[in-house]
Each structure stands twice: as structure tokens, then as C-alpha cells.
């Protein structure tokens, strides 16, 4: 079996809002073989930029687009192909967007591998430890504490036992920050409240907020500092009264390595559409060996949701799943299967071959804005 085509498809909603929501557009990667099998993956990055990484022609042995490196290869050789892609784009890759493009390819290869074997990806990764995982509703903050309270109440009434609120207007002022978290706690009652600050503070302000938010019994404080402030996270984690979570912006095992080595976080949030299964498994083992825990990061479509479920189900430290509840057709309609928590707040791990996701081609056609490699 050989790879014949590497197809990329950019999907985008007809109207994109000014908000931090990865469900407004996406890049699908579809790998087709001479045997007729297709694997599907997704990239969580700027779609056009990641598409260029795949489309780029051969320049020299360390500067080559991913499609050129993959055509004619055996798609089952996932680890060897990861290394080939990494080496082939090392002059412009190694971190960031090139790794996210590799991750989309890697998800598609594992989907294809599972379909070829007639097995779900979690079985190929070593076996799932959970059939269902407690999920938290992941959503943005309201405009103020009152609206945030209503949002929290809505998702608790839907069956979730935890809600995470994120990003703006967090960071506007101390009064605004406290109003938002107070509202979140009021809306969620005795259930778990998670806070995603969105990289808005310096270290001392973050420590002050950690102490203030501890009075509201939050489950974790996520990304209080810049994603590049490793020293700040080490300092903060050693002093914070609440667990510190971060990592969603990191791409590849080498990006995570210094964070894990320095015990910078309590909870590492790994996005499979930025890391893939091949590196995702390495990262997961290193995190757990360090005594920390992993969760998924996922604010995207059912392709990423399925990938995260397969990966997190293999993790001994897994305890909760990020379930994006953004109201978007790319979140809810892109797959035939429904991948969302049930009325008990639990999300089921797929058991069909590969990722267990069937693309809704009508949805693909409706939101398709660019295609290459077809």
C-alpha cells in the first residue's frame, strides 16, 4: 500500500467573528492510497499557512513540502514518516506551524492505519483505559460576571459537572477578573470551575489572581502568563495555591521537553492537532513520568475531538476531557457521528476503526474555500 495523494481542504464559516474560537475555520488533511483507503486529519493552526507547509515544492534536502516527502511511501510507517517529515523541513520547521502541519498528516496516517487494521486508534496506541471520560464544557467568558453566570448555569443544567471559561475580558482589571470568576462560581454552584486567563498577566499579578481565585475553589488556572515565559511558569507553579495548567501552544516533543524537565506545570494540555499521535505519545509518557498529569486541548471539530479521545483514553493520568461547546457547524456538523458529552457529563471513546469519524461531505462542500492536491 502506497500514498497516492495528500489533499488539503480549508474550511471557513461564511462569517468569522472577532473572538478566540478555533471552530470558525480549519485545515483538513486527507491521505489517499493506491488501495482506496483514506485517512483524515486536522491541523489547529492558521489554515493557509499550514497548507503552504504541505504544498511547498522541493527546495533542497532539508527544505521540502510535506506532500513531496510522502507520495509513494507506505502510510503504515508512521514513526519513520514523522522523522522523515521532521528532517525534511528542519530549516523552516522544528517548532510551530511546520509541526502542526505534520500533526495533521500524522492524524490522517493513524486514521488510515486503524482502518487498514480494522482497529480503533487507541488500540494501536497500546489500549484504552477508559470507555468514557468526564468532560468539561469549554466556552468563552461572558461580557461580565452576570452573563458568565448564565453561561455556567446553562451547561451545568445540560449535564456537565465542570465548566471552563476563557479569554477576554479576563485581564482587563482586577475588578473585572474577580467579577468574572465570581459569576462563574455562582452559575456552576458546587460543580468544578476552570479558569483560562488567556496569557494576560505578569508573574506577580498571576500569583495574586491565583490566591484570589482560590477563594472560589477553581480547579486550575490556565495560561496566566505568556506561552514563552517558561521561567515565569516555574516560579508561579512553585508558589500558586491552585494547580497551573498550560501547554496548548507547544508543538512537538522538543517544545515540551524543557517544560517537563523543569516541572513547570501541574497539568499539561496537549493538542493532538498540533502534535499528532506519534509525538503525542512521547509527550504523554514524559509528562506522566515527571509526576504531572495530561489533559487534551481541543477547541476544534469532531476530527480533533476523536483524536483527543483516542489519545487521552490511553493515559493513566487522564481525569477530564475538554469538550468544546461553541455553537458552530464545524464543531457539530462536520462529522456524521456526534462526539459530545452525554447528559451525565461523560464523553464516550470511539471504538470504530481508525478515528471512528465519517466526514459529512455536505458540510465540507458548504464551507470549502481552498483545496490542493486533489
Q: Where are the beta strands (DSSP E) in 187-262?
A: 192-196, 221-222, 244-246
Task: Tell me if 95 sits within 8 A of 25, measured CB to CB.
Answer: no
| Res 5 pLDDT > 90 | yes
Q: CA torsion 260→262→263→265, rounded to 10°?
A: -80
CA dist., res. 3 & res. 37, Å (int): 9
Residue 201, all three cell numbers? 498577566
Angle formed by the axes of helices 272-289 and 97-117, nearest 10°:
90
How would residue 213 be classed by pLDDT, with cut points 50, 70 and 90? very high
In this predicted structure, what is the pLDDT of residue 2? 98
CA dist., res. 227 & res. 271, Å (int): 14
Among residues of the chain, what percentage have pLDDT more than 70? Answer: 100
| Res 150 pLDDT > 90 | yes
| Res 21 pLDDT > 90 | no
pTM of the model: 0.97
CA dist., res. 345 & res. 33, Å (int): 38
φ, ψ dihedrals at 312, nearest 5°: -70, -30
Residue in this structure with the C-alpha cell 477553581, named with its chain if needed: 218
Q: What would the mean pLDDT of 82-108 be, rounded to a whole number?
A: 97
Residue 267, all three cell numbers? 497539568
In this predicted structure, what is the pLDDT of residue 19? 85
Mean pLDDT score of the chain: 97
How would residue 92 be classed by pLDDT, with cut points 50, 70 and 90? very high
Residue among 306, 348, 352 at smallest CA distance from 134: 348
DSSP 13-34: -SS--SSS-TTSEEEEEEEEET
CA dist., res. 76 & res. 355, Å (int): 15
In this predicted structure, what is the pLDDT of residue 374? 84
| Res 286 pLDDT > 90 | yes
CA dist., res. 78 & res. 10, Å (int): 24
pLDDT tens per residue, range 160-206? 999 999 999 999 999 999 999 999 999 999 999 999 999 999 999 99
CA dist., res. 69 & res. 82, Å (int): 10
Amino acid at each position: 500500500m502506497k500514498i497516492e495523494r495528500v489533499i488539503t481542504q480549508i474550511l471557513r464559516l461564511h462569517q468569522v467573528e472577532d473572538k478566540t474560537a478555533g471552530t470558525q475555520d480549519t485545515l483538513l488533511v486527507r491521505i489517499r492510497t493506491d488501495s482506496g483507503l483514506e485517512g483524515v486529519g486536522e491541523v489547529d493552526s492558521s489554515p493557509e499557512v499550514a497548507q503552504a507547509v504541505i504544498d511547498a515544492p522541493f527546495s533542497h534536502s532539508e527544505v521540502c513540502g510535506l506532500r513531496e516527502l510522502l507520495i509513494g511511501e507506505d502510510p503504515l510507517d508512521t514513526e519513520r514518516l514523522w522523522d522523515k517529515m521532521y528532517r525534511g523541513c528542519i530549516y523552516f520547521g522544528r517548532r510551530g506551524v511546520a509541526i502542526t502541519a505534520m500533526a495533521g498528516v500524522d492524524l490522517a496516517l493513524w486514521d488510515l492505519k486503524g482502518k487498514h487494521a480494522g482497529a480503533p486508534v487507541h488500540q494501536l496506541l497500546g489500549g484504552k483505559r477508559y470507555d468514557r471520560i468526564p468532560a468539561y464544557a469549554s466556552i468563552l467568558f461572558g461580557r461580565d460576571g452576570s452573563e458568565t453566570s448564565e453561561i455556567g448555569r446553562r451547561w451545568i443544567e445540560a449535564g456537565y459537572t465542570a465548566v471552563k471559561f476563557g479569554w477576554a475580558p479576563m485581564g482587563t482589571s482586577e475588578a473585572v477578573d474577580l467579577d468574572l470568576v465570581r459569576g462563574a462560581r455562582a452559575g456552576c454552584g458546587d460543580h468544578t470551575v476552570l479558569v483560562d486567563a488567556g496569557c494576560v498577566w505578569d508573574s506577580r499579578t498571576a500569583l495574586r489572581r491565583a490566591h484570589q481565585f482560590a477563594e472560589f475553589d477553581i480547579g486550575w488556572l490556565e495560561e496566566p502568563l505568556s506561552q514563552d515565559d517558561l521561567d515565569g511558569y516555574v516560579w508561579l507553579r512553585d508558589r500558586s495555591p491552585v494547580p497551573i495548567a498550560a501547554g496548548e501552544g507547544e508543538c512537538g516533543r522538543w517544545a515540551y521537553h524543557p517544560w517537563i524537565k523543569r516541572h513547570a506545570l501541574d497539568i499539561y494540555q496537549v493538542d493532538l492537532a498540533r502534535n499528532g499521535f506519534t509525538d503525542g505519545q512521547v509527550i504523554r509518557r514524559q509528562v506522566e513520568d515527571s509526576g504531572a498529569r495530561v489533559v487534551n486541548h481541543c477547541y476544534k471539530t469532531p476530527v480533533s475531538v476523536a483524536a483527543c479521545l483516542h489519545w487521552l483514553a490511553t493515559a493513566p493520568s487522564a481525569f477530564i476531557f475538554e469538550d468544546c461547546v461553541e455553537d458552530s457547524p464545524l464543531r457539530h456538523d462536520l462529522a456524521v457521528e456526534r462526539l459530545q458529552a452525554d447528559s451525565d457529563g461523560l464523553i464516550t471513546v470511539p471504538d470504530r476503526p481508525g478515528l471512528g469519524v465519517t466526514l459529512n461531505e455536505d458540510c465540507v462542500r458548504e464551507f470549502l474555500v481552498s483545496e490542493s492536491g486533489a
